[in-house]
Structure 1
Amino acid sequence: MSSPPAASAPRWPLILLRISTAALALLALLQTMLAGSFLDGTYDSLKGHEGAAMALATVVVLQLAVAALVLRPGRGPRWPLWTTALLALAVVGQIGAGYARAVSAHVTLGVLLVSGILFGLVGAWRLPLPARAVLRDSGQDDGGRLPRPGGPLEVNR
């Protein structure tokens, strides 16, 4: 007697991970633009830099929850959880260095943080999404979509 087929992993945790990594990347880009504006002499942009840092910290905490969902109900890889935990620690250090006015540490950690965020973005978008369940028994088709690459190709004659 054979065991029943394993249920496919849900897609929504990976989609949420893609959304959160894209939001982090946009906030990181905003941070670099605001920091550059401040260094150019527009001192009002420092307040925006602070606000964007708080938004970035919030999204990192949300992404930590999303990465846990990718691992547990999503049956996904562990690396998003560990890398997001490291990003959260780096964000805390970055905010601390900014308030301490440790500019050399703040700039160095900022470069590393943006690099880590971009690597996480690329990694999240490279994770393949599980195939959607197709209801063939109920008479519904897949809406005329092409088969997934590497999947079986059915030809009707």
Structure 2
Amino acid sequence: MPRSAILEAALRLLPPDSTPEGIRLRREKAADQARRAEAAEASFIDRLSGANIGLLRERELKERARAALDAGQNDVIRLTPDALLSRPTLICGETYNWIEYKNTFGFRSSPYVASKNKAQFRKYASTFGPGMVVYKPGFETNHVQIEGVRCFREAEVC
């Protein structure tokens, strides 16, 4: 294991730096991670779109919902997976209606994140039908066991 990885792992065990400088650095790091995650998601969705898979992106779904609400429609679906497929689409041997992309590793042992994500996936499956969650680096086996939801590594889908 490279020294930098060992050092980074050891530094994560330290209590957070509560000084103004430490808080600023944590915020900058979080913003940088968010930018990288958005870029990875956009790249993945662009590749799907380039493969002639008809879809609506998350931002398009949000725009449609906002426009419908502005027009006085109250029964608007506000759920926004990263990609809502235009029609049920065969991918990796099964048919899916939506795709959620995660730029993180899917751990069972991260209870807050795992439970939040699972609630999100359940809502998508109950509203849109079967869907897939794509984790860029991978996930633990049996990480998500929800009817109508299947997990993939990005490399498997691409």
> Smaller-chain TM-score range?
under 0.3
TM-score when normalising by structure 2: 0.27
Larger gyration radius, structure 1 or structure 2: 1
Higher helix share: 1
Higher-RCO chain (CA-CA 8 Å, sequence separation at least 6): 1
TM-score when normalising by structure 1: 0.28
